[in-house]
Amino acid sequence: MKCTDALIIENVKLNEDVLRMKLKTDIAPLVRCGQFVQVQVPGFFLRRPISVCCTEGDTLTLVYKVVGQGTDAMAQMKPQQTVSLIGPLGTGFPLLDRDVTLIGGGVGVPPLVETAKQYRSRGFHVTCVLGFNRSADMILVNEMKELGSEVETATMDGSYGVRGTVIDAIREKGIAVDMVLACGPLPMLKAVCECASDGYVSLESRMACGFGACMGCVVKTPEGESRRVCTEGPVFRIGEVVL
């Protein structure tokens, strides 16, 4: 990991409150799927932890949602501006030698793009189950299809794909859940942990540093030991930590 200045080459809206930022940075080639970066937004004391959507050469892509003042300021940043990044951070998804099912909810979908790319490039079959509140919130579905993944979609309001949650889509379509890699809101991850026989989940947490020093983002193992979401995570094996 290192602290470096990156050049913004694109910062565009994908929908009402989700944006895609592309950055030129020497840390891009170091990123593994499921890792994140800490983005410094001018005017804010702490950085924003954002998962890496995908990388290509020295280009790093972040897809992020405007959820507060910090990400709103990030959305105002323009191409040619520089932004300070710390990364790559955390422990991402494992690269297993097998077919996998990727499960993403809302802005939990972005880190699964690089993950799908890695599995597809090694010749494994990837099934994606992507859940959104409504069709207007859908992101990165085409990107997943272009990577050669089989994609099933669920929307809570039924405006696209299966009506309901990703779990409803899994049941309705009979999708294999013997090895899942999931990222999304906590209730979705809890449901995934209940229905999958094995797999990994990527967690979100409020954090100060993002590199293991502050102990702000800890979760507990079933034995009561602590794990840092920013360092031992954000990806944990199902059952490794208590959600």
Partner 1 sequence: MIDLSVNLPGLHLKNPIIPASGCAGYGRELAEFYDLSRLGGIAIKSATPAERFGNPTPRIAETPMGMLNAIGLQNHGVDYIIENELPFLAQYDTEVIANVAGAAEEDYVEVIRKMNNSPVVKAYELNISCPNVKHGGIGLGTDAQLAAHVTRMAKEASTKPVYVKLTPNVTDIVSIAKAVEEAGADGLVLINTLLGMRIDLRTGRPVLANGTGGLSGPAIKPVAVRMVYQCARAVHIPVIGVGGISTPEDVIEFLLAGADAVEVGAANFADPMVCVKIIDRLPETMKKYGYASLQEIKEKRAI
Interacting residues toward partner 1 by CB under 8 A: 1-3, 40, 44-47, 70, 84, 86, 205-220, 224, 226
CA 164 to the chain's CA centroid = 21
How many whole angstroms separate alpha carbon 103 and alpha carbon 76? 30
Report CA-CA distances (Å) from 131 to 34, 128, 188: 18, 10, 9
Report CA-CA distances (Å) from 12 to 75, 133, 144: 8, 21, 19
CB of 75 to partner 1, least distance (A): 17
Cis ω for the linkage preceding 88 (within 30 of 0): yes
Whose tokens are 């191409």? That residue is 79
Give 60 or 218: the residue with its C-beta nearer to partner 1. 218
Give 67 or 136: the residue with its C-beta nearer to partner 1. 67
Give 46 or 195: the residue with its C-beta nearer to partner 1. 46
Give 70 or 94: the residue with its C-beta nearer to partner 1. 70
Using DSSP's 3-state secondary structure scheme, residue 59 falls into strand
Locate 164 and state its tokens: 């309901």
CB of 177 to partner 1, least distance (A): 28
CB of 134 to partner 1, least distance (A): 20
Using DSSP's 3-state secondary structure scheme, residue 167 falls into helix
Q: What are phi and psi of 110, to 5 degrees?
A: -45, -50
CB of 143 to partner 1, least distance (A): 31
CA 67 to the chain's CA centroid = 15
Give 166 or 207: the residue with its C-beta nearer to partner 1. 207
CB of 210 to partner 1, least distance (A): 8
Q: What are phi and psi of 128, to 5 degrees?
A: -110, 130
CB of 236 to partner 1, least distance (A): 15
Intra-chain end-to-end CA distance of the chain, in Å: 27
Give 52 or 219: the residue with its C-beta nearer to partner 1. 219
